[in-house]
Structures are given as structure tokens and as C-alpha cells.
Amino acid sequence: MAEVINMPRLSDTMEEGTVAKWLKKVGDKIEEGDILAEIETDKATMEFESFNEGTLLYIGIKEGDTAPVDSLLAIIGEKGEDVSGLINSASSDAKEEKEAEAVAKKEEKKEAPKATGATIPDGVEIIKMPRLSDTMEEGTVATWLKKVGDEVEEGDILAEIETDKATMEFESFYSGVLLYVGINEGETAAVDSVLAVIGPKGTDVDAVLSAGAGSDSKEESAPEEAKKAETSSSNGQETAPVTASDGQRIFASPLAKKIAHDKGINLEDVKGSGDQGRIIKKDIEEYQPKQKAAEKAVPAQEKASSPQAVAAPINLPVGQEGTEEVKNSQMRKVIAKRLGESKFSAPHYYLTIEVDMDYAKVSREQINSLPDTKVSFNDMVVKACAMALKKHPQVNTSWNNETTRYNHHVHIGVAVAVDEGLLVPVLKFADQMTLTQIGASVKDLAGKARNKKISPAEMEGSTFTVSNLGMFGISEFTSIINQPNSAILSVGAIVQKPVVKNGQIVVGNTMKVTLACDHRTVDGATGAQFLQTLRAYLENPVTMLA
């Protein structure tokens, strides 16, 4: 019997998907587990596999087309089977859903004028800041690819928007002229803030924005109007004029006034580059008080050369102080939030041991001498941790207030530094992987993380984390626990130094590792026993192969 395959929900925030590529065509034989297509979600492009066997009889969504979740994607059945009834049924269901949505939209439009008395003209669309990930609360416009006055077609990329996870292209679902840009490049705004307005040329944008704002409740619109009055004015004139010492008015934007006030800059000293000499934000940010510094330096020199000066003049360095405000990326904000929550909610304590790595170095050289084999010291540490966790299940836990969750599986997160922060890809069932499998998996996941190609599923579910800064020459450090884990291991560099062996001072290779533990789940003795087991594996790598 034929099976209908619908557009899957591949992430918790996915509402629609785009078929990036079909890997099977109509008439092909399908086995359970075969990859049917690559589907682009709101987070990543993911492979979609078949859970059915048979022949691909029908494709409902072509390559490049986008459809809502649960739309008819494909039909799999026996060769020659009649599926026209299933296709017609799916089409009628989709038609009913569209009609229901249309009715709902009409009702919303009818209700809006009752609340405000203002309507948005036909053909005009207010574009809001989209929610591009499940954790996104605000977004930053990295780049506008269209400017006010440009013609926009449905499907054109309007802007690149930086979320807490990646910088993503945001395309237009409407055609028209870009009439208004609500968030400038580099600025950050909350989800659902006005991003842009698209409509026919010559539309009164102020009226559209007023109608859009009026659709909210009075409680919401009042603070918004107050904020708008503080930050901008529609005719480009200030509500509180600034005058110079000679009584002449100084024209400056409200934002320029605020920045100048915060930095202690006198607007009289700034030359405006805006219309009719108006001072704008750029003028304040680029202002260099060179003339003032020179004027202050002259009296200082005159004072030093006066007859009352007894001591010889001291030539002190003269320079200019400078600072720069750089906006935090969404990824950096989320890292700060989650690490802060971990540090201040979980009672951390730290245990450090020094490991003899002489045998580990010899073992690694022998392993890497094999053809097509490449194993790092970090791979050996991950393997040792995975095996030690099986012997010390108390460390492989999560605190849930009323209960402690014991994880019978071992999923190890490996911290990877990227340009904008830190990502933690996860090795699933690491205790069952060989050293070469661990090495290949870490290399693959780290590459995806640095290229922003890693999927959310590949960063979820860790039960323990390893962070290694040894390659940077750091001999010892501590890490913040990656919740909901109970522990994280910090791995330092291998250092060659004098050590005592059999009563003799010889040259040895040692490495310090520090275990950060959540005292709610892992007691000191438990953490110490885990490190003893870890040391035994690392100092005798052959035991990891037994």
C-alpha cells in the first residue's frame, strides 16, 4: 500500500522547508534508510531519509520550492500503483487550509481598523525582524543588500541578519519598492521590530508606520511612541534645540546629542557632515579633539618656563586616549548568558592532577606510523574520559533539582573555538568509538563548526565536555561547566621538564588536567577517583585498546 511522505518538521521552530536537492527520482527503488532529499530548514540544510521501502511514485515539492510542514512531499508504494486519489486528497486538504488561513487574515484585517481607525494601504507590507532560531530574541542587521528606493522582487535577499547562532540571509516574500528601512546596518533590535516597509512607489510611509503601530494595544503603543519621540523626529529637526555660546543654533540629530553627552564632547567643537551642516552620529564617533589638546599643551609649557619654576622641565608623554565600542554578536551574548547561569547556579570546585605522558607519546608515534592513520593527544584524552565515565557513572550525571539523572550513554562534547566564540560539537557514544574514529569525527565536526555548517543536532545531548588549550601553550587552566553536564575537563600542554623516576632525576613529559565538578552531583572523592582512572588510561594507553 502506498505511503504518503509529508514535509518533516526537522527543528522545533521549523514552519516550512525548501527542497534543496532530490537524491532520488520518480521510478527509483527506495530502501529503508535511503536519503530521499536534502531539505533546507530555518537552521541548516539536512538530509531526510526514508522510513519506508518501495518505489518513488510521486514528488510533490520540486527542487528549490518551499512548502509548509506536513505538505505532500512524496509518495512511496509498489510500482504501477495508482496514487491519484492520495494526490487529490492532499491537494484538497491543502486548499482547505489555505482558505482557513485567508479567512483568518481577513478577520484580522477587519479587527485592526476598529482598534485604531487607521489602515495599511493595499499592496503595502510591513516587514518585521524575523525569529530565525529557537533561541533568538533579537537580531543585528549585518548588511543591507537593498537600499531605499530599490525595486524588490519576491525571493530577493533583503539583508543579512546576525542571530545568536549564525549570520543568515533574509529574503523578501513580497514584491514592490523598498520604502523604508527601520534598522540600520550594525544595529540590533528585538524580534518583531519594524525592519522595513515594501509597497508601491510614492506611498506615505509615515501613515503606514502609524497604522502599523496603531494595531498594537494602547499599553504597547504609548511607550513605543515615547521612545520614537526621544530617538528620532520625522522632519529632521530637534525637539530640544542646542545653541552655541554666540547664540547660534546647533543642528544635531538626537542620537548625536546623546553620544556627545555620554562622551563629554561639546557640540560647538564638532563639524557636521549632514544636510546643511547637521551633526550626525558619524561626526561624533569620528571627532578627534586635536585642537583642544594643542591649546591645553601651550599653557602647560608656559607654566614650566616661568621664573617661578625651579626644577628642570620633565618631558612627559603626550597622547590621545581612545576607545572603541564593538557590538556583541548574538552568539557571544548567548555564550555569556549560559556560562553566567552555569557559574552562578552550579557550585564549582576544581581538581588538578599531573599525568606522565611518556608512554602516550610513544604510543601515538606508533599508531600514526600506520598508513592513513592520524591520532592526536586530544583524541586519546577523549577516549580515556569516555572509558573512565563508564567506570564512574556519578560523573556522567545531570542535576534536575528533585532528581539526579544518570546517563547510561556517553556523549562527549569537544569545545571548538570559532571566530565569534565557542561551539561544542558532540561525539555520540564516544565510549564505543576507536581512537581513529574519534580523531576523524572531531576533525569533521570542528570543520563544520568553523564553517558554520554544523547542525543543531550535532551540538546537543552532551553528558561530559573536554576543553583543550594545550596547543596554545597553556599549561593549566579551569573551565566553566557546560550545563546540564556535571563536569568538564581542562587539558593543558605537554611540558618537557625534570622528573623523578626510580629515585633518579630524568627528563620527562607531563601534562596537567583540571576537572571542574558540580558539587551538587559529584563529591570530591568521586572526582578524585575519576581522575585516578583517567591517569591510568593515559599513562598506559595500551589499556584503552584492550
Catalytic residues: 519, 523
Cα(25)–Cα(57) distance, integer angstroms: 9
Q: Can you read off the three cell numbers belonging to residue 144?
A: 543591507
Residue 178 near residue 146, CB atoms below 8 Å: yes
Please answer whether residues 372 and 530 qualify as being in contact, where contact means their C-beta atoms are separated by less than 8 angstroms.
Answer: no
What are all long-range contacts of 58-62, with beta carbons under 8 Å and residues at least 24 apart? 58/26, 58/83, 58/86, 58/87, 59/22, 59/25, 59/26, 60/87, 60/90, 61/7, 61/19, 62/19
Rounded CA separation 390/47 (Å) = 32
**28 vs 52, 368, 405, CA distance in Å?**
13, 43, 45
Rounded to whole angstroms, how far apart are CA atoms 395 and 546? 23
Structure-block grid coordinates of residue 408: 547510561
DSSP codes joined into one string, 464-518: EEEEE-GGGT---------TT-SEEEEEEEEEEEEEEETTEEEEEEEEEEEEEEE
Nearest one of 467, 523, 134, 480 to 341, comparing CA atoms? 480
